Structure 1
């Protein structure tokens, strides 16, 4: 039944967009991806490589690339950037001390590989239920000031267990491509 529904949702697709999801280990990237895909939350193992899923929302089909958060895999993120039209950074808002400078460096490398300016850059401040860092703290963690002129960005607080912020995130992203 799920496969039929998935095929039917693709009939009205007007735009296909490749999106890359980046984040530190245990930030919740994979949990968010599969909440979007399956409408439920399961507990996932550490992502050893890449997950790729198609999510259809508001007549836009997103090909979501979830890059594992380990340092070895992060060095391979830039290899997957061909054709990427949007970037999502998932930040564990309860742990802003984790690899901040290395994470900023990786985000800058990803943005440098994108062919156009003004790309949609969605920052998901995840784990809102544990702790909610301020938007300024989230922006500082990601290092927005260094590349603000290259992007159109939004920070959205999320909790994949309750679903809070996830539809808002897809709405914002799909509006950039309609």
Structure 2
């Protein structure tokens, strides 16, 4: 009996591995993609350097791991975004809610292109309207009508960040956790690789 108790308490072995899901994170330069991912990974946001090509971060959640492939938003890099879409199981699109009307329209056009891309069009999308802490930030009610009509009939999840752009990790983690559940609900045969 003592041996069974000892074995049960001490010798269980490593926990089972958590499933991993590959996600692509896109958005224009300055939208806050790198800061968002650094915050989700509990890294310091003080010395964040914008991504010039791409970076991959593993964002841990209690029930799974999101491997987020962040793609830089500069014009000379956007033309290569589609080369990194293969194998993605979801898309995070980050936009700057405090941007000018022209920049918001450019972000809307990039979102539209992503929603129409054959490798992404059936995947869950999470849209984060970042920089809600800035004085010029549009409210969720102002941002949503400009982007939501693009996604009619698609696996689409919309979330507008209402808290300070970098400071509130819990709010961002909550929206990403909901997004993760959306990805996990898809049957493996439905996930494009």
The normalised TM-score by structure 2 is: 0.75
> CA 1:76–1:140 in structure 2 vs 1: closer, same or farther (change >3 Å)?
farther
Aligned to 2:138: 133
Q: What is the aligned length?
A: 168
- Whether 2:182 is the aligned partner of 1:170: answer no
- Give CA deviations for 1:97-120 in whole Å, capped at 9, x if unaligned: 253333233223323334475532
Compute the RMSD of aligned alpha carbons.
2.4
Contact 1:49 1:67 in 2 (8 A): yes
- Give CA deviations for 1:30-58 in whole Å, capped at 9, x if unaligned: 01111112343233223211111111213
Counterpart pick for 2:107 among 103, 110, 114: 103
Q: Following the alignment from structure 1 to structure 2, what is the Cα–Cα distance between the partners of residues 156 and 32? A: 13
3-state secondary structure, aligned to 1:99: helix
- Whether 2:100 is the aligned partner of 1:80: answer no
Contact 2:94 2:129 in 1 (8 A): yes
Normalized per residue, which structure has more strand? 1
User: Counterparts in 2 of 1:28-107, with a 5 A limit?
Assistant: 28-107=32-111
Unaligned runs of 5+ in 1: 1-8
Contact 2:95 2:107 in 1 (8 A): no
- Whether 2:168 is the aligned partner of 1:149: answer no
Q: Following the alignment from structure 1 to structure 2, what is the Cα–Cα distance between the partners of residues 88 and 124? A: 7
Highest Rg: 1 or 2?
A: 2
Contact 1:81 1:113 in 2 (8 A): no
